[in-house]
A and B are shown apart, each in its own frame.
Chain A
């Protein structure tokens, strides 16, 4: 790579999360971008400081101690671009996931069509839909007005009218929005995003544009049978930036440092996954990103550059943790625990964790609980995300995860797990992938920052997507089909670079592992039995596939899809322990 291709020099990435604030410095070394150093401090949004910029400055002080670089001028301004004397940075980007989800009212024409699309659009950022309105909800304008005034949403998403479709009904629905904004004090007015029939844009602007903070985005429902959320996401990110900067003290300063380019972390994470999917388009599979954070669990699914982003604030592992109890019974979390724990203790743990979201698990029991919660959050999030996939996305069976290559995992609970096996089991049990796929851990939790840097230094993103930052955990082979328990369902023959051969007959309900050193190439020949599907062109079809060894070698998951655990608790716990031991055996 010639240095002339480098689009910016040093880049500072700031990440403000619910728990931690991190600053990461990248710079060009011998013509390539390198991750130089990072500084992490607890986020300072809460009392007594209540100003996130204080935490950022503290983290930058750490970075200064490590690198010697000066980031601020004497008058307290960030130095961008860098000076000939080496002070400052050439570009600054920032991502944020802190704060309560945006309160959203979704408005559309029909409940199942455009209103659903408005809701789906809201789910692509940190938001919670608190109310929906549509033409069949039996409310008149005044009732809608009173509802809006009571709810005081941060954002109203309006969809409706396919291209060339309805007009008058959409304008009627907007009457309540205009009136509500007129009656609210200017500083309390919600942002309004219109993502409906494009022929109405002028009319919408003239009818309510003077009253509301109006944003226009491409129609999310161009036709009755197609939903397109991606083109509207930049407008949504912009709204998130505006609302958050008002709500969180100090964020406006950070936004200024980035040239008003502050991004939601999940959006930036999605950008990285979309980018990788373009690189992997030749596999004809999607790329899946999973980020389990304190504020939300994010599932980013990209298919040849088309991103489907799903953010679940109710599945964050921080202050929102008790919300998981509204989404599933406690036993669904308990099933992933290899230790005996009464339901009551688990419930107490969940509520206490919400009181101290920054706390770390000290004991192995606490760690097991947090990992069980993460596993269940991934499970619930991926089940929801699958529903948004277009019908042409292929997989083995409806309701299961389709073919992906690779799966990228981010978030401290996964990337900082004490053992690779723990990270793998959370992902394997939570996602239940199918076919042949690689699982990579975003070891330094850089994926979101790299998505943010893409706009100022695209090469940085490309050059950082390497094995130093994204650790190959293992190659997974997940066979899907029906057979009696313990029946042989897959023959695996692996030849590594040295010509060493390994043969394995895998039985239904089991997990198996083959050792393959990290970075070592191997060739797998798969022969499914009982018409099991390993993603090689249909049920019962096998073939050869080249694989690269990961931290845990090659893991064959024949436990069944969907995974069904034994009902008897002791047997289940013993099995979970056994599976972990088997997965570990592929490692080094």
Chain B
């Protein structure tokens, strides 16, 4: 059975697709070295349309009006340009009220596509463009410390890492925050009040990496303008030692927080990538593995939720759980030396 894997690696080779939601123009080129704020592609999104009734404008039947339409699909028109006519002694014409592109013309009507909102796609990561995905985006390869999370608020940004956690579950409170955090990515343990999230927003932090957060803060977390990533999930949970070590030993380093929601089918999940100096020998993250003895695993549910340990045994058959359910289990030695039985369905490999 294939096991789910969460990557928490001090030095990893990372390959990520950066895609626009709609087709557009790719600006970056293959081989280009990019920084997180570099624009790699641009597009006009959500264009609006305008339907011009040429027949009515010219006072003609639709079929007849078609003879007087001067523009065809694909033509660019400026505001005030004549689009149909002239007709009759009065030389009646129809002008375009706004600039745009003709997308359909006929049956006495012209459909104009008006200019949409300009949207640009930033690289998001520091790395090298290794591939171009036509009209959609780019592939970036980077080397850095990688900490994958479980939940993200859908935003992406980068900044210098600022460690606010003196322990893996320390609560972050507004009283600990000041203007010196502006532009930083905060690493903290737990957050239990929305005032903390709002204060960070007011201070213009660039991101927040938390071990855990109370679930009632989800609406507030979704409303702030900076990315928030949870490493362990909801409730008061300490950060696992591997992630805590990587993050707390990287203070002052540049970190990208891509807090996109976990999309299992699309293979996207929230993550933080810390830039490393050149010359680091990266490890290629293992993408496919079955459970095996000796692996570092994390427990995903109570009573040991969030705890990390070593898989020590994979008993055959099904075991009875305290809940009364039967499941295939693994024996895991937790960091305190205690050995617990955990269903395979409640384990993930850390590595």
Contact = CB atoms under 8 A, between A and B. Distances in A.
Interface string A4-27: 000000000000000000000000
Interface residues on B, range: 35 or more
A48 B215 contact: no
A187 to B, nearest CB: 11
Contacts, number: 133
A134 B344 CA distance: 50
A41 interface: yes
B83 to A, nearest CB: 16
Given A352-B234, A367-B323, A416-B325, A359 B300 contact: yes
A362 B49 contact: no
B1 A347 contact: no
A49 B324 contact: no
A355 B325 contact: no
Nearest to B51: A142
A45 B301 CA distance: 22
Contacts of B303: 362-363
Nearest to A54: B2
A364 B323 contact: yes
Q: Which of B5, B103, B346: most chain A Cβ within 10 A? A: B346
A145 B346 CA distance: 46
B23 A185 contact: yes
B323 A418 contact: yes
A356 interface: yes
A48 B267 CA distance: 7
B288 A49 contact: yes
B interface, by DSSP: helix, strand, loop or mixed?
A: loop
A42 B2 contact: yes
Nearest to A98: B265
Contacts of B48: 142, 146
Nearest to B342: A362
B292 to A, nearest CB: 16
Interface in A349-390: 350-352, 355-356, 358-367
A348 B216 CA distance: 8
A363 B323 contact: yes
B322 A351 contact: no
Contact of A248 (B103, B111, B234, B265): B265
Interface in A286-327: 319, 322
Contact of A355 (B218, B262, B287, B343): B262
B324 A367 contact: yes
Contact of A182 (B46, B104, B323, B343): B104
B284 to A, nearest CB: 12
B244 to A, nearest CB: 19
Contact of A360 (B150, B287, B343): B343
Contacts of B327: 360
Interface in B281-300: 287-288, 300
A183 interface: yes
Contacts of B1: 41-42, 58
A321 B327 CA distance: 22
B216 A45 contact: no
Interface string B159-181: 00000000000000000000000
B305 A352 contact: yes
A319 B103 CA distance: 40
Q: Which of A49, A179, A319, A366: most chain B Cβ within 10 A? A: A366
Interface in B250-277: 262, 264-265, 267, 269
Contacts of B345: 42, 358-360
Interface of A: 41-42, 44-50, 58, 99-100, 140-142, 145-146, 149-150, 179, 182-183, 185, 247-248, 319, 322, 344-345, 347-348, 350-352, 355-356, 358-367, 416, 418-419
Interface of B: 1-2, 4-5, 23, 46-51, 103-104, 111, 113, 150-151, 214-216, 218, 233-235, 262, 264-265, 267, 269, 287-288, 300-303, 305, 321-325, 327, 342-343, 345-346
21 contacts: A44-B2, A45-B264, A45-B265, A46-B4, A46-B267, A47-B269, A47-B287, A48-B5, A99-B265, A141-B51, A146-B49, A351-B151, A352-B300, A352-B301, A356-B346, A359-B345, A360-B323, A360-B327, A362-B323, A362-B346, A416-B325
